[in-house]
Amino acid sequence: MTSTTHADYVSGNRAVPDFPDFPAFPGIAARAAETDATGRIPAQNWKELADSGYLRLFHPPEIGGTGADGLTQADAMEALARACPGTYWAATVSTLLCGKLISTYGDLRHHEPLLRALLSGERLAAFAVVERTAGSDAGTYRTTVRPAREPEGGFVINGEKSRITNAPVADVAVVLARRERLPGDDGPDWCLAFVDLNQPGVERYEIAHMGLRGMPWGGIVFTDAHIAASDVVPVPFGELAEGMAWGWLKNSFAAIAVAESALAASVRHARERVSFGRPLAHMEGVQAQLAESRAQIDAARLLARRAMCARVEGRSVRDLIAMLKIYATEMGVEVAARAVQIHGATGVTQGHEVERLYRDAQMNVIGGFTSNRLREQVAENIGLGPAVYSAFDWVTPAGLGQDPAGLDGSPYAQGAVT
């Protein structure tokens, strides 16, 4: 997908769509299996997203959005993720996550045109954080922004970002980078850089991935790529998690949608499949699995809607979103795994809906911020302090520091006990 293609889908201002029932986006849903099999989002999906108003739901009218309330946004996110999780990820990373980062940390005097292009579907954005040798540990990131030499002015960026949604096809990247400071500059060490990806000094590549196969995924290599001065925004690192929490919400709704689809497929199969003289749905063990999935999905959905509404109202609720991301994404994997069990060999057959959903569910746990790291943050916020490593001697107190060569005369050392 290119910016030229996006320009064909500009649809003007439309009323916010209504998503009262699932599944919505029937055309996108009908193409979901093809999207997964080919590893490409069909052009028609992007047209339908732009026409539906989905891309504008998350922003106020003054910058081209619709100003939809939290429940409307939640319904729309789940509806699209149920239709096609890969399309949902690609679209929502661009309009919600990148759009929120630009509107929150950028300057509308300079960045309103970029925002409007994302919201209309003319342009696609990638959030470039992770690097080839670094995941959740930002302290190991090496991508750097530094002032450019005269006469061009502005800044240049060097480094590589890898395993990034939309990287192979995006028009612009919101890049988390280190900032090379000049003498006298006591500002933050980090910045968000809004980088035009259609310029010299930018190379892209694709990475094959297990789930969400239709979602463009890959890396970006920057070699003295130019950035305008207005597009480099110094940000204290501690503040960035606030903006990234929108991504945690994105993953959570994707997980809920995948789980709902997996449950629906399981119920259909249990009603239709007869084994040992009765439908699977009449078997107590299968009923227990389905009931457990129903309870978990509804619990996650209630938590997600609470978090979304609070966020849209302007409250941080970052801790709540962190807990939601942990619970919802891991729940999605559990429900999808149950669906595979209920379907038996059919559930692990390549091309089956449940097989695809199981692969998609795994991506929501890892993407955005891993559950293990989020658990550490939740623990910090309930008074356990930061997860800081310090050296300690655990050998001596345990009595394991004795000479293994047998000098102490123990039966173990003498070989009497093996």
CATH number at residue 216: 2.40.110.10
Do 217 and 251 fall into the same domain?
A: no
Do 281 and 261 fall into the same domain?
A: yes
Nearest to 260 by CA among 349, 348, 331: 331
Looking at 94, 123, 152, the residue that finishes a domain is: 123
Paired with 190 in beta bridges are 178
The tens digit of pLDDT for each residue in 379-409 reads: 888 877 776 667 777 777 777 766 555 555 5
Do 199 and 261 fall into the same domain?
A: no
Q: What H or E segment, with its residue span, contains residue 196?
A: strand 190-196
Q: Give the pLDDT confidence score for residue 136 in this predicted structure.
A: 66
Nearest to 174 by CA among 254, 94, 107: 94
Do 133 and 162 fall into the same domain?
A: yes
Q: Which residue has the higher pLDDT, 9 or 307?
A: 307
Number of folded domains that form the chain: 3
Do 192 and 81 fall into the same domain?
A: no
Q: Give the pLDDT confidence score for residue 397 in this predicted structure.
A: 76
Does the pLDDT at position 208 exceed 80?
A: yes
- For residues 298-316, average pLDDT: 95
Do 252 and 278 fall into the same domain?
A: yes
User: Pairing between strand 172-179 and 125-128?
Assistant: parallel
Looking at 105, 123, 141, the residue that finishes a domain is: 123
The angle, 0 to 180 degrees and rounded to 10, between the axes of the packed helices 318-343 and 371-379 is 140
Q: Give the pLDDT confidence score for residue 389 in this predicted structure.
A: 66
Does the pLDDT at position 150 exceed 90?
A: no
In-domain check, residue 119 = yes
In-domain check, residue 397 = no
| Residue 410: band (very low, low, confident or very high) from pLDDT cuts 50, 70, 90 | low
CB distance 52 to 25 below 8 Å: yes
Do 324 and 267 fall into the same domain?
A: yes
Paired with 204 in beta bridges are 220
Q: Give the pLDDT confidence score for residue 138 in this predicted structure.
A: 67
In-domain check, residue 255 = yes
In-domain check, residue 115 = yes
CB distance 312 to 69 below 8 Å: yes
In-domain check, residue 295 = yes
- For residues 210-234, average pLDDT: 95
Indicate which CATH number applies to the domain containing 93.
1.10.540.10
In the numeric block, the tokens 């969400």 are attached to: 212
- For residues 132-150, average pLDDT: 81
- Cα(47)–Cα(210) distance, rounded to whole angstroms? 26
Residue 146 CB contacts under 8 Å (≥ 6 apart), including other chains: 155, 156, 158, 179, 180
Mean pLDDT (the chain, rounded): 87
The mean-pLDDT minimum among 102-111, 351-360, 381-390, 399-408 falls in 399-408
In-domain check, residue 158 = yes
In-domain check, residue 396 = no
Do 53 and 144 fall into the same domain?
A: no
- For residues 43-58, average pLDDT: 95
Looking at 168, 200, 235, the residue that finishes a domain is: 235
User: Pairing between strand 190-196 and 217-227?
Assistant: unpaired
Does the pLDDT at position 239 exceed 50?
A: yes
In-domain check, residue 53 = yes
Lookup: tokens for 394: 């655990």
Q: Which domain holds residue 14?
A: 3-123
